[in-house]
Amino acid sequence: MNYRATAPLTRGSRARRIAPAALATLTLAALTGCTDGGVDGTPGAAGVRDPFFPKLGNGGYDVAHYGLTVGYDPESRHLTGTAEITARAGENLSAFNLDLKGLEVKDVNVEGKKARFNRSGDELTVRPRDVLDRGETFRATVRYSGTPQTVTDADGSKEGWLEGNGSSLAVGEPAGSMAWFPSNNHPSDKAAYDIKITVPKGLQAISNGELAQETTINGRTTFAWHNAEPMASYLATVAIGEYDTRKSMTSKTTSGVPVFTAIDPTLPKGEYEKTEKVLAKIPEIMDWAELNFGEYPFSSTGAIVDDRVDLGYALETQTKPVFPVDAADTSTLVHELAHQWFGNSVTPKSWQDMWLNEGFATYAEWLWEEDNGGDSAQDTFDALYEGEYYESKADNEAIWEFPPAKQPDAASISNAPVYDRGGMVIHKIRETVGDETFYDIIQGWVKTYRHSNANTKDFTAYVEKHAGDDESREELKQVWADWLYGEGKPDSP
């Protein structure tokens, strides 16, 4: 994620509430007459104990695929959904949880049998009729409906389901995806997705991956999107409205990756033309990124620009980052496309590892400038260290608020140290090992952890292992101590 009017925009913590329908749902569950299969099994955990969001995610199972079928009426703001979740039990499960905010659950089936369920805040607890054996692959189907909510984070930024003037947008970092579908809502459990969205004829519904089918029946159009590669739930998106997706805006990269772009047609002429020119650089940026970071990890790329929704930041939603118009500039586009390698393919194990996403994406901006006639990465590093990068003294000082790998709380996971000082850590690695070894390391890193999860310890161990010699390894340990974990501004750049 990025929005660089001055310093990076801070993301906030997860908002929680008790669903108004919870009591009624509990009563309904009690009347279902299903047998509780909990004699030989144990319930899965209601959270994965993330350091900053302990209730996000759920234990006891691993999701392989989400099949989401969603209908949305913009006038009434009513959403109907069916989520078919294919997962593998990691233990003998008598019950398991899904994260879901606000929407009313109509019924749940597990392996074709009606299951009991109850709600508590953002937790949907499902009790299958039969115990799910460890190692068993099972399918849970949840039917739900209601008005999807906008989640306001502690810093005032918004996520979840956002309504604009003629458009709707779903974004999920860190917790907003549960506002429109039930999931194991934590980066540590990635899955493939098939997302079908039905909207009134004349509107478009854009999501991750590739458009597999578009059909119109009885005045409503269904768009079926296929995302075969693993994706964290926070990277799922839906954009509903009128968009310009003209053939002239669709192309391929040199390696053959198709590019899909969508632009808000209500933009003023000057802003529209500027946005077109920026998005036309996607093939060039992708070719540059593949040269620097290695093979692109997904089967398509692109961007969505919509200024009708009060988003306030750009976000690296998988294969199609989303932008408000004032963030649709070349530097931010480089940042969000770099995230497809750093964050989307190599995804953090917990939200405490956020600097691995933002530090690399920020450094990608510096490298692009260096390779395209702008400031060198060293120039940018020096300006940050000397307090001359931002116009505001407060923004320059904010870089040293805390170490990038030791954020103090959930509200700080996207503060300036995670971005800028995170980028400085990457530059110190390059400075220590030299360019040839540096590019071998970052390409090897994304190849080794392609479509999986990694944390800070995984990264530092990988870098040390491939540093080249014992002297470099010892210098890197000092880099970790001073720049990655050290409090305050290091004494020397």
Model pLDDT for residues 409-445, shown as the tens digit of each residue: 999 999 999 999 999 999 999 999 999 999 999 999 9
Model pLDDT for residues 297-314, shown as the tens digit of each residue: 999 999 999 999 999 999
Surface-to-core class of residue 92, CB atoms within 10 Å of its CB (0-12 exposed, 13-18 middle, 19+ buried): middle
Buried b (16+ CB within 10 A) or exposed e, 307-335: bbbebebbbbbbbbbbbbbebbbbbbbbb
Backbone torsions φ then ψ of 307, nearest 5 degrees: -100, 5
| pLDDT (0 to 100) of residue 249 | 58
User: Which pLDDT band, with edges at 50, 70 and 90, does 153 fall under?
Assistant: confident
DSSP per-residue string spanning 221-270: EEEEEEEEEEE-GGG--EEEE--B--GGG-EE-TT--EEEEEE-TTS-HH
| pLDDT (0 to 100) of residue 147 | 98
Count the alpha carbons within 13 Å of 25 in the hemisphere toward its beta carbon: 24
Average pLDDT for residues 373-399, to the nearest whole number?
98
Model pLDDT for residues 283-297, shown as the tens digit of each residue: 999 999 999 999 999
H or E element that contains 39: none
H or E element that contains 419: none
Please state the pTM of the whole predicted model. 0.92
| pLDDT (0 to 100) of residue 174 | 95
What percent of the chain shows pLDDT beyond 90? 89
Please give the Cα distance from 444 to 470 (Å, whole number): 19
User: Which pLDDT band, with edges at 50, 70 and 90, does 1 fall under?
Assistant: confident
Model pLDDT for residues 237-267, shown as the tens digit of each residue: 999 999 999 654 567 899 999 999 999 999 9
Average pLDDT for residues 37-47, to the nearest whole number?
81
Task: Say yes or no to pLDDT of 16 above 80.
Answer: no
Backbone torsions φ then ψ of 447, nearest 5 degrees: -75, -40
User: Which pLDDT band, with edges at 50, 70 and 90, does 25 fall under?
Assistant: very low
Q: How far is CA 334 from CA 31, 420, 428, in A?
A: 54, 15, 21
Average pLDDT for residues 130-157, to the nearest whole number?
93
Tell me which amino acid residue 238 is: V
Q: How far is CA 283 from CA 296, 323, 339, in A?
A: 12, 18, 16
Q: Is 106 helix (H, G, I), strand (E, B) or coil?
A: strand
Return the beta strands (E) in 19-122 as ranges: 42-43, 61-73, 78-89, 93-99, 104-110, 113-114, 116-120
Query: CA dihedral in degrees (337, 341, 345, 348; nearest 10)?
Result: -100
Tell me which amino acid residue 7 is: A
Task: Say yes or no to pLDDT of 388 above 90.
Answer: yes
